[in-house]
Amino acid sequence: MLVEAVTVLLVTFFALAGAAWLAPALLRPFLWVLVRVLYRFTVYHRARVPRTGGVLVVSNHVSYVDWLVLWVACPRPATFVLWEGYYRHPLLRFFLSWGRHNTVRVAEGARPHAVHDSLKRIAEVLDAGRVVVMFPEGALTRSGNMLPFGRGVEHVLKFVTTDVKVVPACVGGLWGGFFSHGGGPILRKLPTAFRPRVSVLFGAAEEDLPPGPLPEGKGSENPFEPPCTPDPRGAALALPLPSGRGPGGRSSSAPDLRLAVQECTADLALLESAHLLPVHRRFVRQAAKFRRLFRPAITDYSAGPPRTLTWAKLLVAALCVTRYLRPRVGAAQNVGIWLPTGLGGALANIAAAFLGKTSVNFNYTAGTAAVRSAAQQAGVRVVVTAKRFTARVPLDLPADVQLIYLEDALEGVTKWQRVSTFLLVLALPGWAIDRFVLGLHRHQIDDIITIMFSSGSTGEPKGVVLTHRNVASNADASLRTLEVATGEVLFGFLPFFHSFGYTVCLWLPLNTPCAAVYFPDPRQAKEVGDIARTTRATVMAATATFLRFYMRRCGADDFRTLRLIICGAEKLPVKLQDEFREKFGVLPLEGYGCTELSPVVSCNMPDVDRGGRRQQRNMRGTVGQPIFGVCVKAFDPETRVPLPVGAGGVLCVKGPNVMAGYLHQPEKTADAVRAGWYSTGDAGFIEPEGFPRITGRLSRFAKIAGEMVPLEKLDDEMHEALATGGDRVLAVAAVPDEKRGERLVVLHLPEVGPRLADLLAALPKRGLPNLWVPDRRDCHPVDAMPVLGTGKLDLKRLGDLAKQLAGAAPAADPRK
């Protein structure tokens, strides 16, 4: 009886296998089950794939099983375009042979006629009214970012003779898995998680999009609500292009199709961010892991001798501070924090998050008026600070604002409370502390974690409302982009009132098994160099201004252990990069972000060489490729119509990092965020390889006699003519002029004075129009450049100072 049953099963198995080999469509039910067993699998917008007619699905290429999940996700049977080289691997060849009737092989580039024939076969399949899935990158990504799209997709759409729709799509969740290059060699590493989340999103075909510009955002009575609903245009907004048009005038430029897929990744990240664990909950899970309890978590240089806390002690300290603050903060929702970068500031922010409060880190370099404005806008009535810090940097707030001192918190915690809390941390797993001790499961992903006040470089600071979704998604994407690994040391000296300091220097190291080193003053170059050398720091965030300090005062070996220096807040000159690398042996890389974007948008990274292929991740002069789940696109600044790749406009950003809104300013929110796209105010364009290039600020233009003069470009030209080596010695501003609308004003340091005449004479020789050359009478010496605490040029103070000095000087000759 048993033998008969086994025989029946074997016969059935081989019969089904043979039938599936002959008719691969029979495999779909089996693969549907397999994918859902291996992954927590989700498909978004399947209905965007048309039910009839030829459809070209264009997707990113992350792993060897992309075809598998797309086959299951696609609502119609699909034919896949695969590189011939995949069939060389015995294991892949076996699996791919099962789908031989549903694949088109593309021959290698060494045989152009063979490639041409393969592309024509793809077009024939499309003309037959079938679905074709294509990976225009031509190879697996080596970094997680998409490779440039090959021009083959353009040729396919030129060959088709019927009305074929192009649908962008993306696969998420497979990077770092067993079948990808992330985290180690393909097929030679263990899976990183049990049943990871994997998802597929289909974008909208171009024909399904409404014409015209983005719809305007609508203000909300609740300033914390997202200002508008998702844009129905989907990811294909980038498709209207002037080149490579297919039937019916449809565009098919490879770079713009790549941008359409990039937008799909942002849409997918927005949807998947609902499943993210907030940063404070993730910190509890990380800190409570037994193998990590006694490893260093934070080394603090903010007050006296360095002090190191292990993960266990840090979690105990956070729980004790939370217990102390709970009755004293009471019902106040917004909690002010007046502390420098260090352990105290970290504990205050962690405790505020544990209590479900919104932290407001005040800018202690901004002056009394700005701090009072922030406190008033946020309705802050409780501020956590330290007696030692207020003695050095006094806090001037109304008398009804309660101050809570961390020294009192430490003294108020008894020895028994510390011991019992430590035993609790040792005994309970992180999820239990999260749920039963702190009750953090009640916190929602769209609760507000912080209100960051913008730098105020162009006016009065605005309160930027960031949710757990914003910060968690940005910290997670930054972590994956920067590839921070176990055992690394992140050197953080950017202040927590700075959005980069808050997300990357505070929460990122708390969400990964790396150590953080804190020092409160990045301008103390010698101390920064000593700490970086002593702690063997591997990752550091800085600005170009701070790098210039270190070039002058730090030793050649101070930064030798760093593998990564990311600079933001201002432009990073290529010459400064080279000089820094020549002295310290590490190349600083430029990144980009905004407070309203939580803040990281993009980042250059070292090129990567994996599996015999090199992928470019650093393009000098650009701000790097967008981080995971973020899309950057240029729009017309007047009409808000999306522009093709290479066309200049205002750069806008989409992703889960886009703020919830400006505090109590729904009109400004609606103007800044439309259909999920945040307008950065930066002028620029997208390179074909996907790197955004910033050309200036839209606000940094002077309109003289009807002509637009870019102040940032003129500023760069004058510095290059002076050969300052990257040091800022002057700044250009515009002031009103009765005759010509505006005129140029130059503020310069005293040492520039003797060279001023030669400088102005040299500008026309550099190819600049005469209209761009400032008048000698509008050049004024100043003792120091107006900069913010981050080293960024303070545009508001620059403009005010220029008006003040220009008002006392004669106007330029209108006949010039």
Enumerate domains of the chain plus CATH numbers: 1-33 (no CATH), 34-275 (3.40.1130), 700-807 (3.30.300.30)
- DSSP 3-state assignment of 484? coil
Burial class (CB in 10 A: 0-12, 13-18, 19+), 357: buried
- DSSP 3-state assignment of 584? helix
Q: What single DSSP character describes residue 292?
A: G
* pLDDT at residue number 241: 31
Task: Name 43's bridge partners.
Answer: 200
Residue 547 backbone zone (phi > 0: left; psi -120 to 50: alpha; other: beta): alpha
Q: What single string gives the DSSP state of each residue in 770-810?
A: GGGSPPGGGEEE-SS--B-TTS-B-HHHHHHHHHHHHHTSP
* pLDDT at residue number 228: 33
Alpha helices in 433-522 (DSSP H): 468-482, 499-500, 508-510
| SS3 annotation, 325-350 | HHHHHCCCCEEEEECCCCHHHHHHHH
C-beta of residue 99 within 8 angstroms of C-beta of residue 31 = no
CA dihedral 322, 328, 334, 337 (to 10 degrees): -70
* pLDDT at residue number 769: 81
* pLDDT at residue number 88: 57
Tell me the CB-side half-sphere exposure of residue 497, using CA atoms within 13 A: 26
* pLDDT at residue number 7: 59
* pLDDT at residue number 637: 87
Task: Name 166's bridge partners.
Answer: 56
| Cα–Cα distance, 380 to 468 (Å, whole number) | 20
* pLDDT at residue number 509: 95
Q: Which segments of the chain have a pLDDT < 70?
A: 1-28, 83-103, 105-112, 206-252, 455-460, 705-706, 789-791, 808-816
| Cα–Cα distance, 280 to 421 (Å, whole number) | 18
Q: What single DSSP character describes residue 515?
A: E
* pLDDT at residue number 83: 67
- For the chain, helix, strand, coil in percent to 5 are 40, 20, 40
**pTM of the full predicted structure?**
0.84
At 125, the amino acid letter reads V
| Cα–Cα distance, 507 to 478 (Å, whole number) | 11
Q: Which two tokens stand for residue 702?
A: 């002077």
* pLDDT at residue number 569: 80
Tens digit of each residue's pLDDT (9 = 90 or more) over 420-462: 999 999 999 999 999 999 999 999 999 999 999 975 544 567 8
Strands (E), 675-806: 677-686, 692-697, 701-704, 707-710, 730-737, 741-748, 779-781
